[in-house]
Amino acid sequence: MTRPQQPELEELLQDIDKLEQIVATWDEEQRMTVIALLLSIDSLHKEAFARLVSALKSDKRGSELLEEASKDEVVQAVLRHFRLGELSLADKVEMALDTVRPALATHGGGVELVAMEPPATAVISLTGACNGCPASAMTLSEGVEKAIREFVPEILEIKKVVGSRPPIVEMPTDIKSPFA
């Protein structure tokens, strides 16, 4: 019996990105409702996975199975998302960025970890509406950098590079940072 083809992590993330782009076009009340729903579902999933990981770690064979399963990139991504495994510095930065992404998304923007440079430098890029926005300096300092410094004190420097997507050319002058 053959297993059905399983989607790759990149495909799953692209699906999520497409849906996030749709939600970003909704009014604030609708976006906040979706974010609240996602956070509630995430809390349920985190508790379930934490219990599963704990049960597996309590048995030698279970620990071995967990270690083997953790080699799969989708399993790694979920465990990292729920902070249920050993985390690299880049993983920690991604988790810090995850705390500000919902606020950025409400303004049609985002943030990406572009690279990690030794010994402890995070290179980030604002994306979408945040890339080139007049309020991007405040978004960067009061949102993104603050989250990284709070959640990953090991980071010594944060560098910003120009976003991978072209900035929005015409911006209203009354645009505010979600962290204003």
Residue-wise pLDDT for 127-175, tens only, equals: 988 888 888 888 888 899 999 999 899 999 999 987 554 443 334 445 5
pLDDT, tens digit, 9 for 90 and up, residues 49-89: 999 988 988 988 988 998 888 888 888 888 888 878 767 78
Q: Which of 86, 116, 143 is the last residue of a domain?
A: 86
- 113 pLDDT band (50/70/90 cuts)? very high
What interhelical angle do 28-57 and 60-69 show, nearest 10? 140
Predicted pLDDT at 22: 94
Domain that holds residue 166: 87-180
The verdict on residue 71 lying in a domain is yes
Does 118 lie in the same domain as 54?
Answer: no
Q: Which two tokens stand for residue 168?
A: 């929005």
User: Per the structure, how many domains does the chain have?
Assistant: 2
User: Which spans in the chain are helix H?
Assistant: 9-23, 28-57, 60-69, 73-81, 89-105, 136-138, 146-151
Note whether 135 and 177 are within 8 A (CB): yes
**Domain co-membership, 46 together with 103:** no
Q: Are residues 177 and 96 in the same domain?
A: yes
Strand order in the sheet with 109-117: 109-117, 121-128, 157-161
The pTM of this model reads 0.52
